[in-house]
């Protein structure tokens, strides 16, 4: 009944972690049969719901993922929430090996008073809103204020700053959702401050994202020269990528611009700037409306130097008037099944090279393995490592692949019994085609369907 000689593997999550693990296993082992289970009816994780709409080139990885999904030894089952619709134990029963690549869908909170006020949003939700993540559809962020403060200075923070300030003409030909585009067209936000605990030498974003801010049409930089004191002097000892990034910030903050740039800045109606050495203390409300009116920031100084420098409170605080606060201080993986080990401090599944501790036959890759840092290429490498660990275990016998396993056959039967209808890759291609057509009519690469119901309706007709 079942083909006994092929190792059956399933992957949970269809972001880069899941797809790169699948790709490597399929390529390197001509006998592996692989199934991907995904919570949403649509694949690709943060490539669809995280990567900024004005970074279409980053999304080209979808082509490679599609090739993997269409491979004769690979099957995709969307609309299956592992941990709720099917347990890890049930997957372990049905497969020789299970790989958890379900990403980091929670977020770190600031833990300060006022965090729940109207006008305060997690970057994760704000990004989900402009990228069409179904559960962020109703966010409707209030963009009626002039100044927005973003807490955190990583690439996600810069994505959010750019989307808030970009000219609509730049966004309207991207796959940003239509409701987000309309809200941004009405937005009153003119000034975005990007706040970090430490200094310019510790900033967490990459040079590409800073360059995009520096060149963003219609905007000018608004930096505090004092934040850059002493930086030029230590620059020669800084590793090269960071050195180039710091030089760009120094130039933007301190140098007198040339004539052309001066003209550009003069005609700018919007501004952005980094604010260093500041941590959030409290979000303050306008008493009448109980909406965000300002954020109180503690002033820090640095102890130590380089990447390990620590922010230490000086005791001084300052209030910055703003109506919008977006906290971009990091994503967090969640525990999806109580039977799994979980390191709640680091918010990862404890593992060595992708082998989950004390849980033979179960592996992890992507952000749930490493924590929520790094670009798609980093995720690719750590996913290839996990695939290699699994293949080593198959070769050494540490992973027993001799038993006959039922694979998707028993899992789909089980799901059917529970009223869950998986979405196949061919179903996804129907959604894809509807979205692309809708987008074409508006001059966009795609107009995303915004609810799970709509997606399922298209998939299952
Ligand atoms: P994810 O991409 O999050 O994939 C996890 C998948 O698991 C999702 O599809 C999710 O729906 C699914 N899942 C979750 N729970 C379950 C469950 N219980 N059952 C089944 N499935 C489940 N990198 C770049 O290189 N360039 C960029 O421009 C860039 N921009 C980014 C912008 C943002 C806002 C963010 C947050 C990240 C960005 N990255 C970028 C980083 C990149 O997105 C990550 O490195 C990568 O997506 C991590 O892959 P992953 O598979 O671990 O997680």
CA of 394 relative to ligand 1 center, distance in Å:
28
**Domain range list for the chain:** 8-105+332-423, 109-329
Domain 109-329: CATH superfamily is: FAD/NAD(P)-binding domain (3.50.50.60)
Q: Does 374 appear as a known binding residue?
A: yes
8-105+332-423: CATH number: 3.40.50.720
Residue whose Cα lies nearest atom 30 of ligand 1: it is 51
From the alpha carbon of 331, which atom of ligand 1 is closest?
A: 36
Q: Does 376 appear as a known binding residue?
A: yes
Choosing from 20, 22, 45, 153 the residue with most ligand 1 atoms within 8 A of its CB, the one to mutate for a pocket test is 45
Instruction: Count CB atoms within 10 A of the CB of residue 2.
Output: 12
Q: Does 153 appear as a known binding residue?
A: yes
Q: What is the pLDDT along the chain (461 residues), one digit of tens a residue?
A: 444 579 999 999 999 999 999 999 999 999 999 999 999 999 999 999 999 999 999 999 999 999 999 999 999 999 999 999 999 999 999 999 999 999 999 989 999 999 999 999 999 999 999 999 999 999 999 999 999 999 999 999 999 999 999 999 999 999 999 999 999 999 999 999 999 999 999 999 999 999 999 999 999 999 999 999 999 999 998 999 999 999 999 999 999 999 999 999 999 999 999 999 999 999 999 999 999 999 999 999 999 988 899 999 999 999 999 999 999 999 999 999 999 999 999 999 999 999 999 999 999 999 999 999 999 999 999 999 999 999 999 999 999 999 999 999 999 999 999 999 999 999 999 999 999 999 999 999 999 999 999 999 999 88
Residue whose Cα lies nearest atom 39 of ligand 1: it is 375
Ligand 1 neighbours (beta carbon < 6 A):
12-18, 37-40, 45-46, 50-51, 55, 58, 81-83, 101-103, 105, 127, 156, 159, 331, 336, 366-367, 374-376, 379
Is residue 44 within 8 A of residue 62, CB to CB? The reply is: yes
Q: Does 154 appear as a known binding residue?
A: yes
From the alpha carbon of 366, which atom of ligand 1 is closest?
A: 52
Q: Is the ipTM of this complex over 0.95?
A: yes
- Total-model pTM: 0.96
């Amino acid at each position: 009944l079942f083909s006994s000689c092929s190792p059956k593997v399933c992957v949970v999550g269809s972001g880069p972690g899941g797809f790169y693990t699948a790709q490597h296993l399929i390529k390197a082992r001509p006998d592996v049969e692989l199934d991907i289970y995904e919570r949403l009816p649509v694949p690709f994780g943060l490539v669809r719901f995280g990567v900024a709409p004005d970074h279409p080139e980053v999304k080209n990885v979808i082509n490679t993922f599609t090739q993997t999904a269409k491979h004769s030894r690979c099957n995709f089952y969307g609309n299956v929430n592992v941990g709720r619709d099917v347990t890890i134990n049930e997957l372990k029963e049905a497969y020789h090996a299970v790989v958890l690549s379900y990403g980091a869908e929670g977020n770190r909170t600031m833990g300060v008073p006022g965090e729940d006020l109207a006008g305060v949003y997690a970057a994760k939700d704000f990004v989900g809103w402009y990228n069409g993540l179904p559960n962020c559809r109703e966010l409707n962020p209030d963009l009626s204020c002039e100044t927005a403060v973003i807490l955190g200075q990583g690439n996600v923070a810069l994505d959010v700053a750019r989307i808030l300030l970009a000219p609509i003409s730049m966004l309207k030909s991207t796959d940003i959702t239509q409701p987000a585009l309309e809200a941004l067209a009405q937005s009153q936000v003119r000034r975005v401050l990007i706040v970090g605990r430490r200094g310019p030498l510790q900033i967490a974003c990459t040079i590409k994202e800073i360059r995009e801010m520096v060149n963003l049409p219609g905007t000018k930089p608004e930096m505090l020269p004092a934040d850059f004191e002493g930086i030029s002097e230590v620059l020669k000892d800084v590793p090269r990528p960071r050195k180039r990034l710091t030089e760009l910030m120094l130039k933007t903050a301190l140098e007198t611009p040339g004539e052309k740039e001066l003209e550009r800045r003069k005609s700018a109606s919007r501004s952005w700037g980094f604010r260093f050495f500041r941590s959030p203390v409290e979000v303050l409300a306008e008493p009448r409306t109980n909406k965000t009116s300002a954020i109180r920031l503690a002033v820090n100084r640095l102890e130590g130097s380089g990447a390990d420098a620590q922010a230490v409170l000086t005791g001084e605080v300052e209030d910055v008037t703003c109506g919008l606060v977006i906290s971009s201080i990091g994503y967090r993986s969640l525990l999806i099944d109580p039977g799994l080990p979980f390191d709640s401090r680091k918010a990862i599944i404890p593992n060595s090279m992708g082998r989950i501790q004390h849980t033979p036959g179960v592996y992890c890759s992507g952000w749930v393995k490493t924590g929520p840092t790094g670009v798609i290429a980093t995720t690719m490498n750590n996913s290839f490592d996990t695939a290699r660990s699994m293949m080593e275990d198959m070769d050494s016998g540490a992973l027993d692949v001799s038993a006959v396993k039922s694979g998707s056959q028993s899992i789909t039967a089980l799901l059917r019994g529970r009223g869950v209808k998986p979405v196949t890759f061919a179903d996804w291609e129907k959604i894809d085609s509807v979205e692309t057509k809708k987008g074409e009519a508006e001059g966009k690469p795609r107009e995303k369907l915004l609810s799970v119901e709509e997606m399922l309706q298209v998939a299952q007709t």
